[in-house]
Structure 1
Amino acid sequence: MGARIGVIGCGNWGRNHIRTLKEIGALCAIADRDAERAAAFGQQYGVPAMTPEEAIASDGLDALVLALPVQAHAPTARAAFEAGKDVLIEKPVALDPAEAEKTALTAAKFERIMMVGHVLRYHPIYQQVLDLVRSGRIGEPRHVISNRLALGRFFTMDAVWDLAPHDLSQVLPIAGEIPVKVETIRRKVLGDDTDSADITLSFASGMTAEIHISRISPYRDRRFSVIGSEGMLVFDDLAPEGQKLAIYAHRVWREGSGFACASAEPEFMATQTGMPLERELRHFIECVETRRAPLTGPEEAIETVRILSQASPVGA
């Protein structure tokens, strides 16, 4: 029998985990603070409904997926590690870097798998972008532009903490290093929380990145671009099939006291298909069964929280 997984948290994203794990054949329990909600989902998916404490203590579960309010992620994960469970924690894993580090140390102490749910790392087209960059297809990466704009998602958490983890999880592997400088312009438009922000990252190698996030944009934009010394890659998640990944052979060179450039038409590349969440959960199951380190493990979880805390300090 394969890994037996339980989900704690039946909110919007937890429901996606529940449905996908059921389709994979790994869902064995559902837990929530709301007993009626847990019971309803348990009946719908044909698995036991539990309290979070019961799921953590259950001998019938090997691992847990946590999709909870962020404040509950770290303490719940630590309790699960101490009980011998491996854990996939939805992003972000904490609101404070020290809490994230404490959680990672607990996982290491009890020799448990700790994985963070940076689902876009498992998008097949993003993985293709990363492979192309690492293979030198566009030369040396110099700059990244990540846009995540839309209307909605008005949760209690500010937009930086809600949206930017996705972008950071994509930028950091391209850079291959942690930023030495984080600068942010935040805008509170509708209330006391950030609704839009521009985040810039600078790296010791000289590479830079700019992240634009908004939940008050009149249009949607999901583009991730990597500018290299020999070309540019653009992953547009909202583009039609066949046009989601393009390479531009643009060139810029020094000419006299200034610069000149030559633009090129996009070359659209064949791409793979697959649902990022299913790929993420299958990877987690593989890690549980083989004890291999996850692609999105504790170090990435901690670094993401560290950058977020600089970009938008909690309570500021």
Structure 2
Amino acid sequence: MATRVAVVGCGQWGQNHVRALAEFGVLAAVADRDPAKAARFAERYGVRGLSPDEAVESADLDALVLALPAVVHGPVARRALAAAKDVLVEKPIALDPADALATAEAARRANRILMVGHVLRYHPVFQELARQVAARRIGAVRHIVAMRQGLGRFLGMDAVWDLAPHDLSLVLKIAGEAPVRIETMRRTVLSDDTDAADIALGFESGVSAEIHVSRVSPYRDRRFSVIGSEGMLTFDDLAPEGQKLAFHPHRVWREAPGGFGFRHADAEFIETEPGLPLDRELRHFLHCVEHRSEPETGAAEAVETVRILAQASPPPRD
């Protein structure tokens, strides 16, 4: 029997989950705090419309996708896990590390699947970049640079918590370890909170990373680059199809006495698979539910991401 899934939260991003799961034939219900909104989506997709509490308690649902305000992700997820449901939670899973850890522990106790919605981890271009790195196309990884800039998204959450989770997840995948050093420079520019930030990460292996986020940039930038000893790879999400993943065979070498030489080379574009990241993420979640396997972006990553975010941009004190 197909997995029976409900989406809890029919907001801007939750609607995308509803659409995809309906196309997969596994959408069994939709839920929202606004009964009228739940009813509209239920009628559109021919499923039940529920309240969030009803979705958590419903015995004929196997899994929930939570697309709610981050502050309630933890409490709702823990209730769902205790009710023997597998859970995919949108990012961030919590707004403080203790809450995230409590949800991860609840999943462990209940022996249920807990996955966090770091959707860019399922982007076919990033997945090919990760394969190229693992195959040592660029030699040893030395440094990672992530750029996420644009104008807008003033959603009551500072730019670090809103924008950086995507790139933190990518960095953690490439680095393969948790950072041991976290330094942040935050700037309030046009709102009352952090509008732009630079996060520097250091890892025990010697790999370093820098993440730049801004919601007050006059131009958009969505690039993720990995610099290695034998070249560089860049995932540019705004580039035309066929040019989103580039290998730069640039080289830098030591020259005596005490100098360095370098060679600049033209980019080589790498072919990648087609596919929508959200569709691939949800199919992965369904696979994990059906086969009882650990998600690519599971509980451990969810907790580590929130730990880094909390150090990079602590919540304001009352």
The bucket for the TM-score relative to the shorter chain is over 0.9
For 2:180, give the aligned amino acid. Answer: V
1:153 corresponds to = 153
How far apart, in 2, do the equivalents of 1:191 and 1:138 lie? 40
Q: How far does residue 59 in structure 1 lie from its aligned partner after superposition?
A: 1.6
Secondary structure at 2:293 match in 1 = coil
Q: How far does residue 190 in structure 1 lie from its aligned partner after superposition?
A: 2.1
How far apart, in 2, do the equivalents of 1:271 and 1:106 lie? 37
Matches within 5 A, 1:1-316: 1-255=1-255, 256-315=257-316
How far apart, in 1, do the equivalents of 2:168 and 2:119 lie? 12
Q: How far does residue 259 in structure 1 lie from its aligned partner after superposition?
A: 1.4
Secondary structure at 2:43 match in 1 = helix
How far apart, in 1, do the equivalents of 2:114 and 2:123 lie? 20
How far apart, in 2, do the equivalents of 1:190 and 1:60 lie? 48
Q: Can you list the C-alpha shifts for 1:104-147, whole angstroms capped at 9, x where unaligned?
A: 11111011100000000000110001111011111000000100
How far apart, in 1, do the equivalents of 2:230 and 2:160 lie? 32
Q: Can you list the C-alpha shifts for 1:257-298, whole angstroms capped at 9, x where unaligned?
A: 221111111111111110000000011111111111111000
How far apart, in 2, do the equivalents of 1:179 and 1:81 lie? 29
Secondary structure at 1:12 match in 2 = coil
Q: How far does residue 16 in structure 1 lie from its aligned partner after superposition?
A: 0.8
How far apart, in 2, do the equivalents of 1:257 and 1:37 lie? 67
Q: Can you list the C-alpha shifts for 1:16-60, whole angstroms capped at 9, x where unaligned?
A: 111111111111100111111111111111110001111011122
Q: How far does residue 243 in structure 1 lie from its aligned partner after superposition?
A: 1.1
Q: How far does residue 77 in structure 1 lie from its aligned partner after superposition?
A: 0.3
How far apart, in 2, do the equivalents of 1:62 and 1:80 lie? 10
For 1:107, give the aligned amino acid. Answer: A
Aligned length: 316
For 2:108, give the aligned amino acid. Answer: A
Alpha-carbon RMSD across the aligned residues, in angstroms, is 0.8
Q: How far does residue 192 in structure 1 lie from its aligned partner after superposition?
A: 2.1
Secondary structure at 1:212 match in 2 = strand
Q: How far does residue 172 in structure 1 lie from its aligned partner after superposition?
A: 0.5
How far apart, in 1, do the equivalents of 2:242 and 2:288 lie? 32
For 1:172, give the aligned amino acid. Answer: L
For 1:306, give the aligned amino acid. Answer: R
How far apart, in 1, do the equivalents of 2:117 and 2:217 lie? 25
Q: Can you list the C-alpha shifts for 1:148-167, whole angstroms capped at 9, x where unaligned?
A: 11111110011100110000
How far apart, in 2, do the equivalents of 1:190 and 1:25 lie? 44
Q: Can you list the C-alpha shifts for 1:216-259, whole angstroms capped at 9, x where unaligned?
A: 11111111100000010011111111211111111101122221
TM-score by length of 1: 0.99
For 2:133, give the aligned amino acid. Answer: V
How far apart, in 1, do the equivalents of 2:244 and 2:273 lie? 10
For 2:304, give the aligned amino acid. Answer: E
Q: Can you list the C-alpha shifts for 1:162-191, whole angstroms capped at 9, x where unaligned?
A: 110000010001101100001111111122
How far apart, in 1, do the equivalents of 2:175 and 2:124 lie? 19
Secondary structure at 1:222 match in 2 = strand
Secondary structure at 1:173 match in 2 = helix
Query: Structure 1: which 5+ runs fail to align?
Result: none
What percentage of residue pairs aligned between the two structures are identical? 63
